[in-house]
Every structure is written in structure tokens, then in C-alpha cells.
Amino acid sequence: MFKWLRRNQQANQLLAVRPLLDGVAVALLEQLPNQQCVVRWTEYLSLSESGEPEPRAAPAGVDSAPAKDGEEQRASRDRRGGDRRSGDRRSGDRGGDRRSGDRRSGARRAGETGASSGSEAAGHDFERLAPLLQRLVRQRDLRQVPCTGVLGSGDYSLILVDAPDVPPSEIRAAMRWQVKELIDFHIDDAVIDVFDVPERDGRSGRRLYAVAARRGKVVQLIDFLTAAGLNLNTIDIPELALRNLAARLPEDIGGVALIAFERDHGLMTVTRQGALYFSRRVDCGSERLAAALAEGGGSSALESLLDGLTIEIQRSLDFYERHFSQPSIAGIVLAPVEGGGDEVCRYLSAQLGVPTRWLDLHADGALAPELPALPAQTCVVAMGAAMRRDSVAL
């Protein structure tokens, strides 16, 4: 999205860096002469493994006012930016519908589980993360590699708006007026970019997604990356990173829902033919899912978790089909988690009537064949960011 041109670049490589609360996810992609790409390596730089103390989890039980009921109220909230605040993305069984239009920055709370480790809900501690990244840059000699940095989920708002009736060169300026009442910080402190939402036939439609980021958060990320000696090229967002991954999937031709699991939540995107239509945060994190899987396929914990996930996915797909005039998607793809088994895919497929499978990081994610998939599970978003074709560059 937001672009900078810096030192001479190694044009056949792209580095992606995604700061998290307790570490940094990094992925390096190489463009091959045959125009294919391969992720040469991924790495998760953990504060705990570096000897730093674990970040303190946010208090449990922090929640917001009850969500509105009814699909029309949820759709209205989606259009005006809604309540995607500091981890306060309520699950479908509470009536909340966490869609792309609900991503207000700066006010997200810790979330229903109370666990924020591994997410960005409490904000990045760049001072503690900086030595980890600086060491990696030196060790792997990354100073000349163009770099994409990924904003934290609490640092921006993603808002679905009607396209203004102005020339293309004036869209960004006009967008400032449209989103100024939909964000919870002053418009003068916002950095804004936009991308299209296609119509059913693939042409640009009458709606756009506006990304409004806090200028201070963007500057913090820029300073963090450039202080490490990286050749910063672009600042991007997790939704578009997952879009890049989804565009590689065979299901994307007919439409695909891709869900990546963070420790305490998941991020779901719905794309079709390389275009992002919709995203929402889901109340199913990798830690809870892995723990439920460890109890066994017939456990009540796993069934309860998958029931809630089914409701959230179904509501999201209903919204996608109705509000974007799209046909049913061709499949659901889940980013891998520890202990992930066939029972999860079978359950979701049976409940939703949509073919469901796990993401193959080697075949789908272009992970180099010699690399093990398990360590790369924590770097799925970074891998997608390294595959950037276009971006929202604040």
C-alpha cells in the first residue's frame, strides 16, 4: 500500500516482516527465472526464546457493549466501520459480525479469551523486538532485499465505503471526508489508501475499501524496520497478505474462504479471482484449537469450538453472497495448526456444505520443499505479504 524506494534492490527477492506482541514473523520469497516463486525460508523471532520475559497477558473478561442483532444492523455497521476494536470482535453466537468494515483502530480490547500473547491487541514493544530483527538482518545479510512491513491489526481501520463520484486522481482526497466520522482518531492523524471491490463480472464496482491507519503507528513501524537496516519498500495489511496466498489456491477461481489462526483468534478472508471482498476476525485461535484437538476428535471442547466457528463462517458467507452479489464459494481452506486432523475439515464441510481442507504450505504457499512446514505455521501472514502483487501502502 504505502511505498518507499530506497537503496539498490535485489529485484528477485522480497522480504516480509510482521511484528507481533511476543516476536517477529519473517519470510523471504525468491522469484525464479521461470516466473515461479518460492519461499526460501521463514523464521519466528521469539522474545521468550531470546531470554526476554514473556509479555503480560491482558486481563480477562474485558468486553464491550452487546452487539447489535439482525443482519441489516450488522450490514449497516459493516458499512460505517463498526466496532472492530482492540480485540473486541465478538463471535457469531453473540450476534456480532466481524467483517472488513468493522476494523476501527486504536480501541480494540483484549478479546473474550483474555489472552493477547501472539496478537497485536496490546501494541508492539518495538524497543524489545528491535535487537531480534537487527541480529537477523546482520546474520542473513538482508540490507539490500526490498522489504514489506505488515501493520498490526490494531493500527488501522478497514472500511467498506461507496466510491466517491470524483476523478480517480482525487479519490484519496475525497475518501478523507468519507471516513473522518468512521474512525476513532482525528482525520489529520490518518494515512489513507484505497483498493477496489470488483463487481460480479470482475470490473471495478461502486464500492471501495479504505484503509485508514494512525500516522504514528505507521511511523513506528517504518522506524523499526529502517533502524534494523532493512530496505523498506511497502507497508501492507494482514488482509491483503492473506489475499495473496488465497490467489494461489485452485479454489480462488470460484471463491475461497481462507482462515489463518493466530494464538487467540483467527482472521478470515473471502476472495475470488484474486480480489478481496470480505474479512472478519473469528473467535477461534490456534491455542484453543490445538488444545481441543489434543483431547480427541469426539471431545465436547472441539465440538463446541467448531460449532462456534461454523456459525461465524456461515454468517460471513451469507453476507458475502448477499451484499456483493456473488455465487457460493468453491471451498474453505484452513491455515495449519498443531495437531490439525481430518476431523476438523470433515466437520466444517458437513455443517456448511462447502469442501474444506488444510492449507498445504509447500504446494499452496510456495514453501521450499526442503523446509519443514511446522515452523512456518507461525509465519503464514508474512509468507502472504512476501507474495505481494499490489498493496495498500499508507
**Alpha helices of the chain — where are they, by DSSP H?**
71-79, 126-140, 171-179, 215-227, 238-246, 286-295, 300-323, 342-352, 373-376, 380-386
pLDDT of 100 > 50? The answer is: no
Neighbours of 35 (CB within 10 A): 6
Looking at the predicted structure, is the pLDDT value of residue 193 above 80? yes
Instruction: Write the secondary structure of 200-250 as one string of H (helix), E (strand) and C (coil).
Output: CCCCEEEEEEEEEEEHHHHHHHHHHHHHCCCEEEEEECHHHHHHHHHCCCH
What is the largest distance, in Å, between two alpha-carbon atoms of the chain?
A: 57
CA dist 231 and 8 (Å) reads 9
Question: What is d(CA 69, CA 112) in angstroms, rounded to the nearest whole number?
Answer: 18
> DSSP secondary structure string, 95-151?
T----GGG--SS-----TT---TTSSTT---HHHHHHHHHHHHHHHT-TTSEEEEE-
- pTM, entire model: 0.79
On whether the CB atoms of residues 86 and 264 are closer than 8 A, the answer is: no
Q: Tell me what the pLDDT averaged over the chain comes to.
A: 80
Higher-scoring residue by pLDDT: 339, 216:
216
**pLDDT bracket for residue 55 (50, 70, 90):** very low
Q: Which pLDDT does position 340 carry in this prediction?
A: 82
CA distance 297 to 282: 21
pLDDT the model gives residue 196: 87
What torsion do the CA atoms of 361, 264, 120, 181 make, to the nearest 10 degrees? Answer: 110
Which amino acid, residue 194? V
Is the pLDDT reported for residue 81 higher than 90? no
Window from 81-85, 251-255, 374-378 with minimum mean pLDDT: 81-85
CB 385 within 8 Å of CB 29 = no
**pLDDT surpasses 80 at 150:** yes
Give the pLDDT band of residue 107 (cuts 50, 70, 90): very low
Per-residue pLDDT band for 51 (boundaries 50, 70, 90) equals low
* Domain 2-386 class in CATH: alpha beta
Any idea where the domains of the chain sit in the sequence? 2-386
343 vs 72, which has greater pLDDT? Answer: 343
Query: Do 98 and 76 contact (CB within 8 A), yes or no?
Result: no
